[in-house]
Amino acid sequence: MSLWKMFGIENQKHSESLGSVEIETVQKITTTLKELKPKQARFIACFAYILTRVAHADQHFSVEEIETIEQLLVREGRLSKKQADIIVQIAKSQSILFSGIEDYMVTREFNKIANQDQKISLLHCLYRISAANQSISNIEEGAIRQIARELKLNHRDFISARLHFKEHLALLKDKS
């Protein structure tokens, strides 16, 4: 069974081109997500994937970024620590294996199911993850900007979230 089919966001072309992957981690997340209502599972799956998308923008997951994602899933997603750990692991794997292929599709799905407040909350979460190591790289900020566009958020929303984290922006840090 493919991960996206479990989340209810698979399309036929995706299924044919990527096939299915059945691994132990997928089994764990399947069990974890079965404990959630289907609508909540779909929301959490998209949310987690998008969070890892920014964390992996520089082709590396730091320990701080992963810890922050787990904390956000517990707080924002109202998950247990165990559930968050499992979902982060699978989202990380998917991000590494399918980034670029899935990025737009998952963000588009999140755009459909999230309200405006949830999208803005996600934007702030993306900045929290990027600032986890006290510096938001230009690559991470570029990924956040792209996600904001894909979520159809306006420039004012993007700038408002950015201002909360301006002390962490690599672009604005003193180079002396």
Q: How far apart are CA 27 and CA 126, in angstroms?
A: 27
Encode pLDDT of 35-65 as tens digits. Answer: 788 888 888 888 999 999 999 998 889 999 9
90 neighbors 25 (Cβ within 8 angstroms): yes
- What global pTM score does this model have? 0.79
152 neighbors 111 (Cβ within 8 angstroms): yes
> Mean of the pLDDT values across residues 101-130?
93
Residue 93's pLDDT band, with cuts at 50, 70 and 90, is confident
Tell me the C-alpha to C-alpha distance, in Å, between residue 164 and each of 1, 61, 142, 159: 41, 23, 16, 9
Q: How far apart are CA 86 and CA 73, in angstroms?
A: 11
φ/ψ of 136, rounded to 5, equals: -100, 110
Report which secondary-structure segment, H or E, holds 111. Answer: helix 103-113
For 35-128, list the strands marked E by DSSP. Answer: none
With 60 as the cut, is the pLDDT of residue 9 above it? no
| Cβ partners under 8 Å of residue 128, min gap 6 | 68, 72, 165
Amino acid at 122: L
Residue 160 burial by Cβ neighbours in a 10 Å radius (0-12, 13-18, 19+): middle
Count Cβ atoms below 10 Å from residue 70 Cβ, excluding itself: 20
